[in-house]
Amino acid sequence: MGSFHLTKMSLRNFFKKPATKMYPVVAPTYTKMSKGHVANEIKDCIFCGICENRCPTHAITVSKEDETWTIDNFSCIQCITCVRNCPKKCLTMEPDYTKAAAQKSIITLKKPELTPEERAAKEAADKEKAARIAAAKAAKAARDAEAAAQ
Ligand code: SF4
Ligand code: SF4
């Protein structure tokens, strides 16, 4: 009886489609909830270092001086802490997995150079911000002087 069941099961499995896929030859199917790898829209990054400080596995390194953001995907445990804590919302968890590789690869992204138009817009925005701060400071100084005179 036992050998009959075993033979039946073996024959069934022999003609059944395999339960696994031949990854990476056959591409996997990702769902909305799949956690693959962390991506950074580097042009929006302000290099504050919050993601580096919050990462439990020290997979991220940020350099404000060089304007670079580095991730060791092989140390990442896809916990999404960095994505949740990024103040600029430039980090996302992409559903596709890190490609299979013979060696560990560390990815470094550098902030792209601004175009002349972008640079001009940034300079104008910085100038406007500086003028607003100076005006606020002057108004406060005037208020303080008025209060002191009373
Ligand atoms: S938390 Fe966001 S803005 Fe700050 S360094 Fe990381 S990716 Fe850049
Ligand atoms: S997902 Fe988690 S482990 Fe991966 S880089 Fe972000 S904080 Fe670090």
- Read out DSSP for 10-37? HHHHHHSPPSS--TTTSPPPP-TT---E
**Model pLDDT for residues 103-135, shown as the tens digit of each residue:** 888 999 999 988 899 889 989 999 999 999 999
Question: Which residue's alpha carbon is nearest to atom 2 within ligand 1?
Answer: 86
CA of 64 to the centre of ligand 2 (A): 19
Query: Which fold does the domain 33-112 belong to in CATH?
Result: Alpha-Beta Plaits (3.30.70)
Residues 6+ apart with CB under 8 A from 91: 38, 39, 40, 41, 51, 82, 83
Domain ranges for the chain: 33-112, 113-145
pLDDT over 90 at 45, yes or no: yes
Give pLDDT, residue 1: 56
pLDDT over 80 at 147, yes or no: yes
CA of 134 to the centre of ligand 1 (A): 28
Question: Which residue's alpha carbon is nearest to atom 7 within ligand 1?
Answer: 45
Alpha-carbon distance 148 to 74, whole Å? 62
CA of 91 to the centre of ligand 1 (A): 7
